[in-house]
Structure 1
Amino acid sequence: MSHPRAPVLLLMCGVAFAGKTTLARRIASRCGHHRISLAEILGQGPSLDLAPAQWERAADEAARQIDRLLGHGHDVVLDDSNASRVRRDRLRAVARHQDAKCLLVYLPLTLEQGLQRLAADRVEHARPDVSEPLYRDHVARFEPPAADEPALWFLPGEDALQWVGLHEHALRVGSDNPSSPSQRQAT
């Protein structure tokens, strides 16, 4: 008798402008994951200057949606920075509650790279403007995954469509696929 595959929760993890939304959309499109976006729950584009209570309400709603979808056997990708270990652990607990696998998809970005993308966005007006001091504070507060948090890494300059194709199996089954050339250990 075969057992159904456990659902998968993918947690996007990275600072603003790292490419999380682009990659999350590619994963959802190619792999069939339900995409949950905190920015969409908030009813606006991504913003770093919201009150902590607003973010917390959106995070609570995202956790409820994730719990419900995983409980029905659906795979989910959470499009958010997941900037703290506490938040990531909370979401891992939701996955465990539903006997789902959980995997981080980490998009590392240096402050300099982020500031370049911020400047480019000011020309393109693709998202709400972020002041440089607010962005610097966001990057300074971000907690990268620790060594005990296995993650697939999506590096700056990688093509999202090719990357998803290369890692499709791991994304569908929630494996960190340690043999993957794009998988690194956090330091």
Structure 2
Amino acid sequence: MNAAPVVVMMCGVAGSGKTTFAQKLEKEGFVRLSIDEDIWASHGRYGVDYPEVNYEQYKEQSEMKLRGELVRLIQAKQHVVIDFSFWQRQRRNDYKQLIEQYGGVWELIHLKVEPEELRQRLLIRSERFDANAAFPITEDTLTRFLNGFETPSGEGETVVEA
């Protein structure tokens, strides 16, 4: 295999369908990297197995670990899907640079979902018991996420609308 590995960067707010999309790619042979699932596997449930105040620290540790794994996978010519939110332009740019530095090509997939639809999805998600529903998304949290989200524009993104 001489072709450069493809690294798909999922981009969207909580409830936009990033994990569902990433799992489809995983079935097609991509390796999926997920901070939420890594934290769940390493530390357990948010607010149950570890105190909520530890979440940011665990998130940073997990991201550093998965960045290393990403580099290893690119060097092994493996296609990867990064199941993070990529809500900040600078973070997207950092990852694009990292991917290119190690010989990969990136695709940025922005899942665009209207706030009302997000609310419905998050209501359903709150009933699940898994790593991807472990962090509770309240109305205040969703409002913060929506207000802080830096929508990709002119970054080479592919927009998928719900």
TM-score (norm 1): 0.72
Establish whether residue 37 from structure 1 lines up as the match of residue 43 from structure 2.
no
Establish whether residue 131 from structure 1 lines up as the match of residue 134 from structure 2.
no
Establish whether residue 54 from structure 1 lines up as the match of residue 58 from structure 2.
yes
Which structure ranks higher in relative contact order (CA pairs < 8 Å, sequence separation ≥ 6)? 2
**Correspondences of 1:15-164 after superposition (within 5 Å):** 15-30=13-28, 32-43=29-40, 51-122=55-126, 124-126=127-129, 127-128=133-134, 129-147=136-154, 149-156=155-162
| Residue of structure 2 in register with 1:185 after alignment | none
* Residues paired across the two proteins, number: 151
Between stretches 53-62 and 81-90, larger displacement belongs to: 53-62
Percentage of identical aligned residues: 26
C-alpha distance in 1 between matches for 2:124 and 2:72: 38
SS at match of 1:6: coil
Q: Deviations over 1:73-112 (max 9, x none)?
A: 1110001111111111111121111111011011012222
Q: Is the 8 A contact 1:66 1:94 kept in 2?
A: no
Q: Deviations over 1:25-81 (max 9, x none)?
A: 001112x1111111112125799x974433222222221111110011111000111
Q: Is the 8 A contact 2:11 2:84 kept in 1?
A: yes
Where does the alignment leave 5 or more consecutive residues of structure 2 unmatched? Answer: 48-52
Q: Is the 8 A contact 1:12 1:104 kept in 2?
A: yes
Question: What amino acid sits opposite 1:135 in the alignment?
Answer: L
Question: What amino acid sits opposite 2:38 in the alignment?
Answer: I
Change (3 A) 1:40 1:65: same
Q: CA RMSD in A?
A: 2.4
Q: Is the 8 A contact 2:9 2:106 kept in 1?
A: yes
C-alpha distance in 1 between matches for 2:78 and 2:15: 28
TM-score (norm 2): 0.82
